[in-house]
Amino acid sequence: MNGGPRRMASRDSLTLLAGPDIRWREALRAGLVGHSREPLNCETPPPLLGADVTPASRFFRRNHFPIPELDAGTWRLAIGGMVRSPLILSLAELRQFGSQSLEAVLECAGNGRTLFSPPAAGEPWGLGAVGSAKWTGVRLAEILDLAGIEPGASEVIFRGADRGPVDGSPEVIAFERSLTVGEAMQSGALLAYAMNGEPMSVTHGHPVRLVVPGLYAVASVKWLTGIIVTDQPFDGYFQSVHYVYEWERGGAAVREPVGAQRVRAMITEPGAGDELEGTFAVRGVAWSGAAPVTLVEVSLDGGPWRPADLAGEPGAHGWQQWELRVAAGARKGAQGELRIRARATDGAGRTQAGRPEWNRLGYGGNFIHEVRVRLR
């Protein structure tokens, strides 16, 4: 392994991307819906999400700070804190541990936020802050085993190279998020350097990002530069202030960090406003962070829920494609508007509710997807 990993920390080589307008135009040309140019935030319209994996060009973008551009040749990943052997790994050294690939859905915890009533604070996501990709990299557990987690450690903090001020404060902070030691070792998380068979792009975390299957995407820290093992609860901004469910319970605010993705089905075909006739297919994708999806049901104009056909075997972490054939001519009053709804159930017995509980920051909004089309 070129003499093995070095055992000292070093400063990141980082420059800020000079042309955010270029990233913005690339996203819009790919068909994404743009919300902000800097930081770059764009979502994917549902009709573009029907494939088993989402191309990197169409994968949603969620950022809180300007995108950092790291040099793969000088990039280093530092692993320290409560470990027996602190490590410094270059990209070449990391890749020598071999590779593992998995398909996994990444979804912003705020996906569906605009459907909450009253409105919730935050980026105005519709339903497209989600995508599924094939990620390739090294198992996080293998690297933590090499470093050797010391007894008594409880959390692992992941630090990205993106940074900036928050909430109007002049203080600059890095994007950081933590997992419990158990989650870090048992979740199947990857230190990913490739996406859909191509090197990770700058937009999605080049050269290395964390990918934690099953958890909301905030856990999958991009532009990863540091891993710190600790025995103290982590209370960083993106752990205890932002990306938390906040409900009122007994007159007091109760907070809980977002975790596993809630079960959800999305209709990708037909699209809203489409005009249809004869027999047509209702298609989509479904996913859950708790367990593979085992059932997708479709309702037409408020009628009974009908099971859709599932394509292939349920994936462990990718999404489940599904389809239901509909004979429009057999419907009473065949012409006019048709309301199509879809919901999913996972192997843990969780079914989408009609309306998820409101929370101040609008997280976990797995509303039942509804599309209205015209029959002619």
Q: Indicate whether 315 belongs to any domain.
A: yes
Mean per-residue pLDDT for 291-313?
95
Tell me: do 238 and 354 sit in the same domain: no
Q: Last residue of some domain: 204, 232, 257?
A: 257
Average pLDDT taken over every residue of the chain: 92
| pLDDT value at residue 331 | 54
Tell me: do 232 and 269 sit in the same domain: no
Residue 106 has pLDDT above 50, yes or no: yes
Q: What is the CB neighbour count within 10 angstroms for residue 84?
A: 9
CATH code at position 270: 2.60.40.650
Residue 40's pLDDT band, with cuts at 50, 70 and 90, is very high
Tell me: do 234 and 301 sit in the same domain: no
Higher pLDDT, 19 or 74: 74
| pLDDT value at residue 98 | 86
**Which tens digit of pLDDT belongs to each residue from 229-282?**
999 999 999 999 999 999 988 888 899 999 999 999 999 999 999 999 889 999
Please state, in angstroms and rounded to a whole number, the distance separating the CA atoms of residues 113 and 287.
18
Residue 124 has pLDDT above 80, yes or no: yes
Residues facing 79 on adjacent strands: 87, 227
Contacts of 88 by beta carbon, 8 Å cutoff, 6+ apart:
5, 6, 7, 8, 9, 10, 76, 77, 78, 79
Q: Last residue of some domain: 237, 257, 277?
A: 257
Residue 10's pLDDT band, with cuts at 50, 70 and 90, is very low
Residue 16 has pLDDT above 50, yes or no: no
3-state SS of 253-317?
A: EEEEECCECCCEEEEEECCCCCEECCEEEEEEEEECCCCCEEEEEEEECCCCCEECEECCCCCCC
Tell me: do 33 and 106 sit in the same domain: yes
Residues facing 17 on adjacent strands: none
**Which tens digit of pLDDT belongs to each residue from 57-104?**
999 999 999 999 999 999 999 999 999 999 999 999 999 998 999 999
Alpha-carbon distances, residue 308 vs 128, 225, 266, 284, 323 (angstroms):
22, 43, 13, 10, 5
Higher pLDDT, 51 or 250: 51
Tell me: do 298 and 280 sit in the same domain: yes
Q: Indicate whether 253 belongs to any domain.
A: yes
| pLDDT value at residue 333 | 52
Q: Indicate whether 88 belongs to any domain.
A: yes
Q: Indicate whether 85 belongs to any domain.
A: yes
Tell me: do 312 and 188 sit in the same domain: no
Structure tokens at 282: 């209702």
Percent of the chain with pLDDT over 90: 85
Tell me: do 222 and 295 sit in the same domain: no
Residue 19's pLDDT band, with cuts at 50, 70 and 90, is confident
- In the block, which residue shows the tokens 């958890």? 215
Q: Indicate whether 150 belongs to any domain.
A: yes
Determine contact, residues 14/68, Cβ cutoff 8 Å.
yes
Mean per-residue pLDDT for 152-170?
95
Tell me: do 203 and 276 sit in the same domain: no
Please state, in angstroms and rounded to a whole number, the distance separating the CA atoms of residues 323 and 285.
9
Mean per-residue pLDDT for 335-357?
93
| pLDDT value at residue 376 | 80
Note down the domain range covering 336: 264-375
Domain count, the chain: 2
Tell me: do 287 and 205 sit in the same domain: no
Tell me: do 67 and 194 sit in the same domain: yes
| pLDDT value at residue 352 | 95
Tell me: do 307 and 366 sit in the same domain: yes
| pTM > 0.85: yes or no | yes
Residue 329's pLDDT band, with cuts at 50, 70 and 90, is low
Q: Indicate whether 180 belongs to any domain.
A: yes
CATH code at position 230: 3.90.420.10
User: Which residue type sits at 154?
Assistant: S
Please choose, from the candidates 244, 248, 247, 246, the residue with its C-alpha nearest in 3D space to the C-alpha of residue 259. Answer: 244
Q: Last residue of some domain: 230, 257, 284?
A: 257
Q: Indicate whether 9 belongs to any domain.
A: no
3-state SS of 226-245?
A: EEEEECCCCCCHHHHHCCEE
Residue 176 has pLDDT above 60, yes or no: yes
Contacts of 69 by beta carbon, 8 Å cutoff, 6+ apart:
14, 15, 16, 17, 202, 206
Mean per-residue pLDDT for 328-350?
83
| pLDDT value at residue 12 | 34
Q: What is the CB neighbour count within 10 angstroms for residue 88?
A: 16
Residue 128 has pLDDT above 60, yes or no: yes
Higher pLDDT, 246 or 8: 246
Residues facing 348 on adjacent strands: none
Q: Indicate whether 20 belongs to any domain.
A: yes
Residue 177's pLDDT band, with cuts at 50, 70 and 90, is very high
Tell me: do 142 and 285 sit in the same domain: no
Contacts of 150 by beta carbon, 8 Å cutoff, 6+ apart:
82, 83, 84, 229
Task: Give the range among 7-11, 117-121, 197-201, 349-353 with minimum mean pLDDT.
Answer: 7-11
Q: Compute φ and ψ for 177, nearest 5 degrees.
A: -150, 150
